[in-house]
Amino acid sequence: MNSHAAVKNHVILLRGLAREAAHWLDFPAQLQKTLGDDWCIHSIDFPGCGKYFQQPALESVAAMTDHVRREIAITDMRARDQAIYVVGISMGGMVALDWAQRYPEELRGLVLINSSAGNQPFWWRLRPAAWTTMLRALLSDAGTREEEVLKIVSNKRADFAGNLHQWLSIQHHRPVSRATIITMLRAAAQFRPKPTCAVDGLVLASDGDRMVSVRASLALAQQFQWPICQHPNAGHDLPMDDSPWLITKIAHHITAIAPTETAEI
């Protein structure tokens, strides 16, 4: 990874509920290759997940935002006049939005992927067809839970076995507890974004999302007057189902608003 002194831009990747940096799979490396050496990619874990799996989960989206800001040493980055962009999927998008609304001076841009907000209808945030599956997953053992969740968040059936193998390996090495899942669910349900946002944003959504209704993304795009791009058939885990499409959209958005000397993609 590039040294912070050499890079001009930082991209912060935030995963969703009960997921960790490893769930991006090879997406960060692909994004790094596309953006080039002037950019540095950071995949951040929330307490309760990833390298912090033994810690209790945080009880609010705002607390998660502040955790991320500490993790990336936001003060040092700003002192070097380095541009910061945040990309969040699902609950990670809530954290990205909260960050942009509470500390707009820290971010140059953000991208929300299949995200939602706690003030939207519950059946948008979790589609009715997914209720039984998610309840069964929550009550099952960890291995069954990972398989049930993967079935509903990914539409890429050809790679299912390989992706499940990776998910089970992640869970084996850094298990997420049921208490963490419940705490994060409660935090997401309580998130209420402000009416406006001063940071340039982009909304990306999957028409084939069987977990979160695309209407949630459409509503966020309309509320903040941000452009929205919809993938015709990918599932909720858009990085897994079509990472080239996603990288193209993200790279186009953030390089368009980057400092002129790096906006070349």
The pLDDT assigned to 8 comes to 86
C-alpha to C-alpha distances, 112 to 12, 91, 93, 127, 192, nearest whole angstrom: 12, 9, 5, 19, 15
Provide the CB-side half-sphere exposure for 211 (13 A, CA).
Answer: 27
Q: How far is CA 64 from CA 198, 200, 244, in A?
A: 20, 21, 28
Rg (CA), the chain: 17
Would you kindly state where each structural domain of the chain is located, as residue ranges?
9-256
Q: What is the mean pLDDT of each run of 10 residues along the chain (265 residues)?
A: 64 97 98 95 98 98 98 88 95 98 97 97 95 90 95 96 98 96 96 98 98 98 98 98 98 89 51
- Cα separation, 232 vs 197, whole angstroms: 27
CATH of 9-256, one of 3.40.50.1820, 3.40.50.2300, 3.40.50.10800, 1.10.260.40: 3.40.50.1820
pLDDT in the model for residue 112 = 98
| Tens of pLDDT, residues 204-233 | 999 999 999 999 999 999 999 999 999 999
pLDDT at 261 (0 to 100): 57
* pLDDT at residue 6, as a whole number: 65
Pair 93, 70: CB distance under 8 Å: no
Look at residue 2 in the predicted model and tell me its pLDDT. 43
- DSSP label at residue 56: P
Look at residue 81 in the predicted model and tell me its pLDDT. 85
Q: Which two tokens stand for residue 10?
A: 């930082």
In whole angstroms, give the CA distance from residue 192 to residue 121. Answer: 12
What's the predicted TM-score (pTM) here? 0.94
CB 65 within 8 Å of CB 97: no
Residue 4, pLDDT score: 47
The amino acid present at 53, given as its one-letter code, is F
229 pairs with which residues across the strands?
A: 204
The closest alpha carbon to 184, from 29, 56, 4, 17, belongs to 17
Residue with tokens 């990776």: 166
**Burial class for 76, CB neighbours closer than 10 Å (0-12, 13-18, 19+):** exposed
